[in-house]
Amino acid sequence: MCGIAGILTKNQYQEQLEPTIQRMQIALRHRGPDDAGIFIAPERQAALAHTRLSILDLSSAGHQPMSTPDGRYWITFNGEIYNFQQLRRDLINQGEKFNSQTDTEVILKLYQRLGTVCVQYLRGMFAFAIWDDVEKTCFLARDPLGIKPLYYWQSGSTFIFASELRAILASRLPAVNLSMQGLYGYLVTGSVPEPHTLIEGVHCLNAGHHLHWQAGSFTQKQYWQVDFTPQQITLEQARKQVRNALIDSIKHHFVSDVPVGVFLSGGIDSSAVVALARQTQTGVLKTYSIAFEESAWNEGEISSKIAHTFETEHTEHIITSALGKSLFSQFIETIDQPSIDGFNTFCVSQVAHNDSTKVVLSGLGGDELFGGYKAFQQIPKMLRWGQQFHKFSPISNSLGKALAHWGKSPKQKRLGDFLQQKPTTAAAYRSFRGIFSQTEAGKITQHYLKQLPTPVSGWQQDIINNTAISQNPPSVEDEVSLLELSQYMRNQLLRDSDVMSMAWGLELRVPFVDRVLLETIASIPSAMRLAPSKQLLIEAIPELPSYLLNRPKRGFSFPFQQWIDQEWSDYFPVHELNKNIDLNLWYRRWSLVILDYWLQQVTN
């Protein structure tokens, strides 16, 4: 895992390449404390930067930016390619020679031979850029499921990119103006929806896309998307298919030249990772968890029990309200873009870092693939009665407007939004997963931008369309799965996991979020794959103990409501918007306070 940055230009800023790329590199130093490098193209049309966290081939042969022997192609790469050893063997059989044992060199050789189609062969998480010093072009790509971020900004003939938004801003090239679309999307969903960011003009390359830059202009193309077309299969075949695919993914995600640990939250997904790791790995397996003094939130006992069952070397760290508060200022400095999540990953990543671990696996993604969220049951219900209401659209619209403006709870206000729209799965999802209603988000956007947005104007509709489903999954449950994968997981869970783990020089891997795994199980009909309580996943892993399975499902979270109302209250003062908008729920107050702290950082 690393940090990457670059500047591409035809005739602008060429005299400023060195200081600009150096500032961008410094902003990414935390992502790669082991090594750093910069490449400036001879004709000064490109500058690439890299900061390295050494995971594969710890020697100097892994230094980046890396080039082909003839100096034509140069790469800066962030991520891990889990099938690189097989690809390397195939390339050697075709006559290629290698100077390192890195996956970076494999990507470079593949691109040299195959061009842009190389991304179809890569299994892993990645964001990379390859400069062609002969054609004066650059190829940038992001992994299919969006595990690794890649931000960019274009003005005139100049294009800059980086692993984090903070590095784009460190270039001092973009003006620091809030993006209306990004801000509104953040307020509605709790995270900034790609391709937007909170900075106007700065975008995120969509997952499963690549980008080609030449002579000051660029084009984007999608190269991958999930296909949920069902195939006939028995339940027993489905169980075997899931188990084999998971074991295969776990094996690949343990590819490393340094020890690999596991985040163990005490839930089914992280326990499944530990259980299958014990099927594929020998020797010491380290696991990490955090616990709380508050018994209603504490998962420490079950995590320790799972660790004992599977004989792991377990480290548990108790986060008290006071300790959490002492870490909060450091957490704020770590934020790349605000969200209503991330503090949990920040804390458990510190635990692994303090134990000198550099790579960990997480159970993130299991709920999205196997129907673990309440959304899989509630959204189809919302859709059914929404369709019934829509038959009487004047009544539905009037009731929706009344709820949106006069609803007593945030949930009622978001339900009002849903009743005023065409009853689609995406509309129900926005209502179910939302933070602020569309009316509230419009008022807050007006507060921060001092502009008067009109109801469902072009920029609001852009966000709404961005949440819609461009594909046509075979069932409502498949639609929910696709939305969870492409919205909540990608924009919030994966992005926060990347930033917060890298803040501690830690590489976080997600074996459930694997292209090959998803392609293997996506054809299992939703009635099986998304059966309530993740039944298919549980049946595929009989090693999971009954004491875990018989517990009621509890999503892992912090006692934030209690902490914010009491000991953390000085970090969360009464917001000036509280007069007109209900901010009693912790995640609503958190979203605005974190936004304010972030704005102070980027504007100072």
Active site positions, annotated: 2
| Burial class (CB within 10 angstroms; exposed 0-12, middle 13-18, buried 19+) of 353 | middle
Listed in sequence order, the residues at least 6 apart from 267 whose beta carbon sits closer than 8 Å to its beta carbon are: 299, 363, 553, 554, 555, 556
Is residue 403 within 8 Å of 413, Cβ to Cβ?
Answer: yes
Q: If you search the block for the tokens 């080609």, which residue do you land on? A: 212
Residues 336, 341, 344, 345: is their CA dihedral positive or negative?
Answer: negative
What is d(CA 131, CA 139) in angstroms, rounded to the nearest whole number?
7
Burial class (CB in 10 A: 0-12, 13-18, 19+), 375: buried
Helix axes 410-419, 438-449, angle to 10 degrees: 110
User: Which residue is listed with tokens 């004066």?
Assistant: 136
d(CA 197, CA 335): 13
Reply yes or no: is the peptide bond before residue 195 cis, omega within 30 of 0: yes
CA 575, CA 2: separation in Å to the nearest integer? Answer: 37
Q: Kind and range of the H or E element at 477?
A: helix 476-483
For residues 101 and 114, what is the distance between their CA atoms, to the nearest angstrom?
20
- State the pairing for strand pair 35-40/46-52: antiparallel
CA atoms of 220 and 222, how far apart (whole Å): 7
- Give the side-chain half-sphere CA count within 13 A for 359: 20
Q: Give me the residues paired with residue 137 across strands.
A: 132, 214
Other C-beta atoms closer than 10 Å to the C-beta of 441 total 24
Contact 58, 359 (CB under 8 A): no
The candidate with the shortest Cα–Cα distance to 500, out of 168, 31, 29, 80, is 31
d(CA 7, CA 14): 9
**CA distance linking residue 457 with residue 282, whole number of Å:** 58
Distance of CA 512 to the CA centre of its chain: 13
Query: Is the separation of the CB atoms in 153 and 203 below 8 Å?
Result: yes
CA 114 vs. chain centroid, Å, equals: 28
Residue reference for tokens 């795994």: 517
User: Which residue bears the tokens 């009037």?
Assistant: 398
Distance CA 570, CA 586 (A): 14
Pull the structure tokens for residue 430: 């926005």
Alpha carbon distances (Å) from 87 to 58, 123, 129, 386: 20, 10, 19, 50
For residue 462, which amino acid is it?
D
